[in-house]
Structure 1
Amino acid sequence: MTAPVTTRNTHVIDGEQLAGGSERIEVVNPATEDVIASIPAGSAAEVDAAVTAARKAFPSWASTPLAERAALVRRISEGLAARHAEIAATITAEMGSPISFAQKVQASIPVATSKGLADLLEGGYSFSQEIGNSLVLREPIGVVGCITPWNYPLHQIVNKVVPALAAGCTVVLKPSEIAPLNAGILMEVLAEAGVPAGVVNLVHGTGPVVGEEIAGHPDIDMVSFTGSTRAGRRVSAVAADTVKRVALELGGKSANIVLDDADLTKAVKLGLANTYINGGQTCTAWTRMLVPADQHDEVVELAGAAAAKYTVGDPTDESTRVGPMSSATQRERVLGYIERGVAEGATVAFGGADTSALPATGAYVAPTVFANVRPEMTIAQEEIFGPVLSILPYRDEDEAVEIANSTIYGLAGAVFSADDERAMSVARRMRTGQVDVNGGGFNPLAPFGGYKQSGNGRELGQFGLEEFTELKSIQR
């Protein structure tokens, strides 16, 4: 085994690093297939100890003045910024995100979102308001269980842990066992920022063991989960017995509607970039490109030419645009979808399931473009979570909207048009949590979350903060 990427590969419960039992989970670099570290496989006993610590710490933390909590959030943001390079390299090693992307996005967005939250708290946000003869208070919900995924590992952790802290909650965190090492860095940052012992506790382990224990624990007041829709259903079912609040950020199958007056070159370039971002392992990826039928072939040609520019290879190389999938299991899943697309009659316009031109070692998949995709095909309905774009023709604007809304998901989407008002009109008709018009940029203060089976609740900014509060009305 090579040296660990970070030295803190332990549980952290009540401020203490705990090695756990003898059972370990190996952390594998998906590019080299080397084991780079191991973490303890947690059990119900560790979860119970973490919940006990969080419950004990809650009264004191909940009563901490807002100004002190805001200052602590500011220090967390600054601490993450100071360890930017280490965080980026760690995420590249544990889940294969290209280093240029890890530096620009994986390590940077957590800094921006936590800074935005500190700005909000210091800018006059109030946890109370007067409504008639009522004083309406937002109070911390209590102990929060946070279960997070591997694709944007630190970003998703920070989206939950930091606003929970800001609201006055205490936390039990289970990061993904595939990409857990960044969580150890965060725990160091939290300690250095002054988070008291027991306020944030880290328990490593698998979803079926640690995740389910968190979801069902009677002393956890809320579970915030990000992951697949299948796993989200399970979290909801397990949590139902204790009637705790459940916030879910789940899968997506987002549509990019290219209208007939759009700049095709721009729409295809940005659309493909969004599809292949982080190797396609992004819940908001615009994996369905909807185009006018009479422009289908032109769009396919543009997409194929653009896809050819996406270099696949070593994620530590600055020039790499698509690294490996996060694991061998994920690679096989994506290849299976590509083969299913061919079997159902879609046309491979670029890439495909042939891996002979890819690195011999590592969980690599070729960036792929499918043409002539029909809405009912599996590749147009199910989340693939890989670098696979489906191009679907439509007859008119109404059919485009109908196709966009035809999946069980509703997380993100896009519209391209030369007419902003027309684009906005179409965006309003899309049943999805966020829509980018003509390449609108990410806003770390805007609410993030989905419709339908993409989940419920919202993250980021004021909206994400308020997810971790209860409302109380006092009449006088």
Structure 2
Amino acid sequence: MIHLPNYLSGVWQPDSGRSATLLDPVTGQPLATAGGPAAGLDAGFAFARAQGAAGLQALSYGQRASMLGEILKVLQANRDAYYDISLANSGTTKADSAVDIEGASFTLGYYAKTGAALGDARTLLDGAAAILSKDQLFQSQHILTPVRGVALFINAFNFPAWGLWEKAAPALLSGVPVIIKPATVTAWLTHRMVADVIAAGILPEGALSIVCGSSAGLLDALQPFDVLSFTGSADTAALIRSHAAISRHSVRANIEADSLNSSILGVDAAPGTAAFDLYVNELVREMTTKSGQRCTAIRRALVPQQFFDAVAEAVGAKLAQVSVGNPRHAEVRMGSLVGREQFDSVQAGIARLASEATVLYDGSAQALIDVDPAIAACAAPTLLGVRDADRAALVHDHEVFGPVSTLLGYRDTGHALSLAHRGLGSLVASVFSADSAWMAQVGRELAGTHGRVHMVSPDVGKTQTGHGNVMPASIHGGPGRAGGGEELGGLRALGFYHRRAALQGSSVTLQQLTPAATNWNV
């Protein structure tokens, strides 16, 4: 059994105790240990601010983009080990591990390529200069400069690979050092990736650090010019927002929290149409990919009331074909949740929703493959339903983070939109229809309460990237309940790691910013 030490101040830290044990969620076998409260946090943060930032910001944007490309090569060289760790520590099938591991690589490659377009620039211009005087000589030029601090990432358990690199890629490209705190229960993969990159010597000392185990003291170590990105529960997010670093010292915080995402089937998408089939396939995929443990998964499936039974029957038939159990078996399509604690939470959540919904498909009657049900965290998919969606309250308020979705009947377009808005802010909503004009209208209406609207018509049925898949070219985040944050979106992601300032002076002076400057929205 291995130990996962912290890496701070450019060195692997001494053992800080072994307060947590990481388990195989299928067999219950101990895999690794992580320590208690980290020692030397203040010194580690200071080292990153000084040494890490200096080393990164001595380079151009293009040079930092090149480093991301080198990191990608390291990850690709160690891919097989990452799949083994994911299977053992997260209980995922190879296909589900790929969502995390290959997603991380794709995102790194995207920012390596996109960042290269910034070339030799060391300063980012934000728009054209504004004229402030009648003679047009005195002007104002907005610029973006990297924050004078560190980027602390406190991540969730479901994406130990992608969750790191989708944040770290734009941060490092911006010239901001990264300190990652992965969720302890699945920290092994994050730790191994960080260790491989550090061993390769690609980044300046202090540019990448990791704290496994306890998160105690991390927020206390933040200073005014640092930034914080958190992915997790709304309850933890509320505690973070109340911390003095954020509430008093204005540390910039990006939050991704609970999200009751919805998917709407169009009134034109009757059973037998291509749009209907696409909707059913997507709902099943969202319920089963990574055992439903995705922040973007479909939790509320909104369908015309007249199609309610047809959708329930079609989805149930496909769910019945999903084999659940030990992902080491080739015939297993869906592995486990990350642990028994999560398993218990999902079971309690299903029971809670079932107090006002009908169970339309109960996968628990299905035999699990090669697991001990008393040990393994395997949960079969469950589809619930509420025909009169106006009478449902819990489904619009309580997220069950597992292979669970609830079918809701709607009367007309206005009713469907009102139900989607009852999520009080979501990461994503999807719409399935062959009526492009209707989808565009619905997309505009949903945009105010969703970070992303995924619209699928039959002509893009084979090429659409998926309701739950987060692509680096599009923003990821959502208003309200979803946390109010925003990540990715191409070079837009760099905005979180930069400060905007206005430089006022003679146009002759401002022209001295170039040629080592470029507009950031290239």
TM-score normalized by the length of structure 1? 0.92
TM-fit CA distance, 1:162: 2.1
Question: Aligned to 1:64, which of 52, 56, 59?
Answer: 59
Question: Aligned to 1:21, which of 13, 16, 27?
Answer: 16
Report % sequence identity: 25
Answering whether residue 308 of structure 2 is matched by residue 296 of structure 1, we say yes
Relative distance call for 1:210 and 1:307 in structure 2 (3 A) is farther
SS of the residue corresponding to residue 326 of structure 1 reads coil
Question: Aligned to 1:245, which of 252, 277, 281?
Answer: 252
- The equivalent of 2:185 in structure 1 is 178
Answering whether residue 200 of structure 2 is matched by residue 202 of structure 1, we say no
- The equivalent of 2:510 in structure 1 is none
Question: Aligned to 1:436, which of 417, 429, 454?
Answer: 454
SS of the residue corresponding to residue 291 of structure 2 reads helix
Answering whether residue 140 of structure 2 is matched by residue 128 of structure 1, we say no
Does the CA contact (< 8 Å) of 1:290 and 1:393 recur in 2?
yes
Question: Aligned to 1:351, which of 333, 349, 362?
Answer: 362
TM-fit CA distance, 1:354: 6.0
Does the CA contact (< 8 Å) of 2:267 and 2:304 recur in 1?
yes
SS of the residue corresponding to residue 311 of structure 2 reads helix
Moved more, 277-286 or 373-382: 373-382
Distance in 2 between residues matched to 1:253 and 1:48, nearest whole Å = 37
Question: Aligned to 2:145, which of 113, 132, 139?
Answer: 139
Question: Aligned to 1:401, which of 417, 436, 439?
Answer: 417
**Partner AA of 1:47 in structure 2:** L
Distance in 2 between residues matched to 1:134 and 1:51, nearest whole Å = 35
- The equivalent of 1:363 in structure 2 is 377
Does the CA contact (< 8 Å) of 1:145 and 1:173 recur in 2?
yes
Question: Aligned to 1:266, which of 250, 258, 278?
Answer: 278
Distance in 2 between residues matched to 1:123 and 1:453, nearest whole Å = 35
SS of the residue corresponding to residue 194 of structure 2 reads helix
**Partner AA of 2:165 in structure 1:** V
Distance in 1 between residues matched to 2:188 and 2:258, nearest whole Å = 24
Answering whether residue 322 of structure 2 is matched by residue 315 of structure 1, we say no
Does the CA contact (< 8 Å) of 2:55 and 2:204 recur in 1?
no
Q: Pairwise mapping of residues 282-293 of structure 1 onto structure 2 (< 5 A)?
A: 282-293=294-305
Distance in 1 between residues matched to 2:365 and 2:41, nearest whole Å = 43
Relative distance call for 1:139 and 1:220 in structure 2 (3 A) is closer
TM-fit CA distance, 1:386: 0.5
Moved more, 118-127 or 49-58: 118-127
- The equivalent of 1:330 in structure 2 is 342
Bigger Rg, which one: 2
Relative distance call for 1:91 and 1:387 in structure 2 (3 A) is same
TM-fit CA distance, 1:379: 3.3
Q: Pairwise mapping of residues 7-46 of structure 1 onto structure 2 (< 5 A)?
A: 9-43=4-38, 45-46=39-40
Distance in 2 between residues matched to 1:296 and 1:254, nearest whole Å = 19
Question: Aligned to 2:95, which of 97, 100, 110?
Answer: 100
Distance in 2 between residues matched to 1:42 and 1:397, nearest whole Å = 52
**Partner AA of 1:432 in structure 2:** H
Relative distance call for 1:300 and 1:355 in structure 2 (3 A) is closer
TM-fit CA distance, 1:212: 4.1
Give the length in aligned residue pairs.
465
Q: Deviations over 1:88-107 (max 9, x none)?
A: 2212211222222213x111
Relative distance call for 1:315 and 1:181 in structure 2 (3 A) is same
Does the CA contact (< 8 Å) of 1:51 and 1:220 recur in 2?
no
**Partner AA of 1:332 in structure 2:** D
**Partner AA of 1:371 in structure 2:** G
Does the CA contact (< 8 Å) of 2:428 and 2:452 recur in 1?
yes
SS of the residue corresponding to residue 336 of structure 1 reads helix
**Partner AA of 1:264 in structure 2:** F
SS of the residue corresponding to residue 428 of structure 1 reads helix
- The equivalent of 2:475 in structure 1 is 447
SS of the residue corresponding to residue 7 of structure 2 reads strand
TM-fit CA distance, 1:275: 2.6
Does the CA contact (< 8 Å) of 1:79 and 1:193 recur in 2?
no
Q: Deviations over 1:362-395 (max 9, x none)?
A: 0111101112253533234211110011000011
Does the CA contact (< 8 Å) of 1:31 and 1:314 recur in 2?
yes
Question: Aligned to 2:173, which of 166, 169, 190?
Answer: 166
- The equivalent of 2:136 in structure 1 is none
Moved more, 455-464 or 330-339: 455-464
- The equivalent of 1:422 in structure 2 is 438
Question: Aligned to 2:83, which of 83, 88, 95?
Answer: 88
- The equivalent of 1:74 in structure 2 is 69
Gaps of 5+ in 1: none
TM-fit CA distance, 1:470: 0.7
TM-fit CA distance, 1:155: 0.5
Relative distance call for 1:95 and 1:384 in structure 2 (3 A) is same
Relative distance call for 1:409 and 1:330 in structure 2 (3 A) is farther
TM-fit CA distance, 1:241: 2.6
Moved more, 411-420 or 128-137: 128-137
TM-fit CA distance, 1:186: 2.1
Does the CA contact (< 8 Å) of 2:287 and 2:381 recur in 1?
no
Question: Aligned to 1:112, which of 103, 106, 109?
Answer: 106
Distance in 2 between residues matched to 1:17 and 1:82, nearest whole Å = 23
TM-score normalized by the length of structure 2? 0.85
**Partner AA of 1:350 in structure 2:** Y
Distance in 1 between residues matched to 2:17 and 2:116, nearest whole Å = 45
